[in-house]
Structure formats: structure tokens, C-alpha cells
Structure 1
Amino acid sequence: MTLIYLVRHGETDWNRARRIQGSTDIPLNDTGRAQAARSGHLLARRTWDGIASSPLSRAFETGAIIAREVGIAAEEIEVLEDLVERRYGEAEGLDDRELVQLFPGDSPVPGRERREDVAARVIPALVALAERHERDRPEGSPDARLIVTTHGGVIRTVLNHVSPQAKYHRGIPITNGSVHSFRHVNGTIELVLFNDPIDVESIADDCVDFDEQNAVEYRELGSEPRVQ
């Protein structure tokens, strides 16, 4: 078994402005770097066997900051293309008001990646990552522990995929720098729901939930985007 801790990247200026990022490569701001360091302090309570990251700079820099805190060299971070954020097509760069104006109601957003397609690339990538580490471990050794720095849309998709009966996991906020623990068992990914106190402590009260920052995701919860 391998424990996989998915960490959402720190804040960017687009997060703060509630602009939809998706595959657009927006860097961390200073608040985001502080959030990544805070996550690193929490994760430093454990020992880790590796760090993997999305290729987008906001996720990779989050991983590099965490790596420094937990004692892993930044050069050892494994970049996995399939962990990139969900693509939002023509909605990328839009804020709440602009999305409502251009794509009102249930209007489809051209180029938006279906959540099933996100799951189809992310879940196998996590399974393959875990299996590589498991193959290299001596028999009888403790479970591997891996940190994966990625994105809100990816984490939301994994949550929905591994436990679809709890639709959208509305009670689990995905704030910048938050940690969400899963495990790999026999080729599948399972949710470890707040079994580790790091998960709870990583969700900061002063941070906005991913679904509140992303009007497309908010709409998929069954609500219209907030127009401010």
C-alpha cells in the first residue's frame, strides 16, 4: 500500500481575482508561497519517499517549497504531465461576471475538459506512481508515503471518482495549500477521509474554497456563479 497526499498549490493572483486558471500557467504570488511553506511545515511531521507535481509552475513551485521543508531535494521532484489542471477552454481567464455574460445559464463552455476525461488521465497516473514506488521497496518495509502537488480541479475529480456516492464531497473544502490523503491498494485509489490530522489542519479558515474561486466548478455544483 502507498499513501498519497494530494496538495493543492498555493494562491495565485488569478485565484485572488477569482479568474478561472485551468491549464493557463499562472505563478504563485507571495501569499501562495507562504501557504506552501505552511503546508510544508505540516507535512514535515512525517517522513516521505518522494514528491511528484503537475508541470504547471504554481504546482511545481509549491512542491519545491514543500520539498525544502520536508528534506527532499527539488531536483528529485517527479513532474507528471497527467496531473495538470482540468482544461476550462474558453472560460480560462474569465471571472464570475464575465463567465455569466459569455456563457449564461447552462450554456456549454467550448473546450472544457469533461471530468470523466480528467479522471481517465489522473487516476492511472497516481496508480502508476504508487506502483513504481512499491516495486522498489524491500518486502516487509513500511508503506510508502508520497506528496503530490496539483490543482483543485484534479483533487475534486479524484474525490468524486473514488467515492461517487458522496456527490461532489461538498463538505470537503479544497483551499490553497490544503492536503487530502488517499491510498493506493491493489491498483485502485481510495480516500482516507481526515484520518490524518494534517488534512484537517491544512484547511485554513482564511483561504477561499476552490469551488468559490472557479465559477465553472461552482456551476457544476448546481448553482449559478456568484456575480459581485
Structure 2
Amino acid sequence: MGKIHLIRHGTTEGNQGRKYYGSTDLPLANEGVDGIVQQALAGIYPKAEGELLITTGLARTEQTFFLIYGSKEHQIIPELQEYRFGDFEMKTHDELEHDPRYQAWMSDEEGITPCPNGESPQDFRKRAGEGFAKILELHKGNGKQERDIILVCHGGVISLIMATCFPKADKNIFEWQPDPGRGYSIHTIDGLAVSYDKI
């Protein structure tokens, strides 16, 4: 049995202001730094003892990683970065609700409408799916023994991965989203997700 640990970055200004942000490269807010440090001291995070360590390369994942694991060597998979909201970046629902472009994006149940200068939900699912496929390939290791992975990434990406791995869980994408600094440990057998624990 192997494990893939998914950890959401700590709180940022974007989280505090309930803003749409994905590609905006925000650092952690002071609250986010304190939260990660407290949770690390409480021992909630998986130990890095031979696991393959990965971030998405954005400041908030790099900073979260450093606060938990220090300067350990790690890989970057940019395909697992958060949804790209384009012109809606760093704006709130209240600021956008009367914008017809926003209304069109919000009302598209098929997920084919992109944010202006951003991506559509389908684009995001495809990109993040390709990133997770890389995770699964690395997890397979040499084919003889699965290699455990710790990934520090984003709430939307974690939700998508969990919904993909556990389609029968009867949860929507928003119910899967963990709080900042939290996440899931997925248990695998022969590369297939079979169960999970919350971090």
C-alpha cells in the first residue's frame, strides 16, 4: 500500500478577502504563517522520510512547504497550480456580480466558458488532470514498490483530485475542499486510490 499526501497551502490575503485568485502569486498572510507553524508543531503533517516532495512552484506553496519541511529538495509540477481566473483575479463576487462576462461564466453548467483571459473549468480539469497523471507516474516508482508522495498545492486542485479518485463518495467539488493548511492522505493499492484520511 502506498500513500499520496495532499496539503493545501496556508491562508493568504486572497483567502481572507474571499477573492477569486489562482495565478496571482500571493505569499502567505501572517495568519497563514502562524497557522502552518502551529499545525506543524502539533505534528499533523506526514513526515518526509524518503517520500517524493512536490509543490506547484507558486509562492504560497513554496512558503508552506518550507514552514513544514524546511529546505528539503523537492520537485515542481506547475500543471497543478490553481484555477486561472484571468480578468476576475483578485476580485470578489460582489465586485463581479453585475458583469455579464461573470454571469455567463457562473451560469455555464457545462464548464466550457472561460474567464476572460483565463481558463474554463474544462481547461482547468484537463490541465490539473495531466498534472495528477504525472503524480501517479512518479508514485508508481520503479514498478516494484510505490513511492509515497507529499504534494503541497491548492484547494481547487485537491478538490478535483479527490473527486476524481473517489467518485462514489457523493461529495461535490466544494465539499472536498480542505481548509488552508489541511488536506488528505490517499491510500493506494497498485496505484489505485482505495481510501483516505484527513490531514
Note whether the superposition's TM-score is higher than 0.5.
Answer: yes
Q: CA RMSD in A?
A: 2.8
What's the CA shift string for 1:91-111, capped at 9, x where partnerless? 111012102132488422424
Q: Trace 1:101-120 onto structure 2 (pairs within 5 A).
A: 101-103=98-100, 106-108=103-105, 109-120=115-126
Gap regions ≥5 residues in structure 1: 203-228
Q: Trace 1:139-178 onto structure 2 (pairs within 5 A).
A: 139=144, 143-165=146-168, 166-178=170-182
What's the CA shift string for 1:150-190, capped at 9, x where partnerless? 111111221222334525155444211011122455565x3
| Conserved 8 A contact 1:36-1:65 | yes
TM-aligned CA distance change 1:121 to 1:101, over 3 Å = same
Q: Trace 1:29-108 onto structure 2 (pairs within 5 A).
A: 29-40=29-40, 41-44=43-46, 47-68=49-70, 73-74=71-72, 76-103=73-100, 106-108=103-105
Distance 1:104 1:113 in 2: 13
| Conserved 8 A contact 2:187-2:196 | no
Gap regions ≥5 residues in structure 2: 106-114
- What TM-score does the superposition give when structure 1 sets the normalisation length? 0.69
Letter in 1 for 2:89: E
Identity %: 24
How far does residue 80 in structure 1 lie from its aligned partner after superposition?
1.1
How many pairs does the alignment contain? 187
TM-aligned CA distance change 1:163 to 1:133, over 3 Å = closer
| Conserved 8 A contact 1:55-1:83 | no
How far does residue 119 in structure 1 lie from its aligned partner after superposition?
3.0
Q: State the 4+ residue runs in structure 1 displaced beyond 6 angstroms.
A: none
- What TM-score does the superposition give when structure 2 sets the normalisation length? 0.78
Q: Trace 1:187-206 onto structure 2 (pairs within 5 A).
A: 190=193, 192-194=195-197, 199=198, 202=199
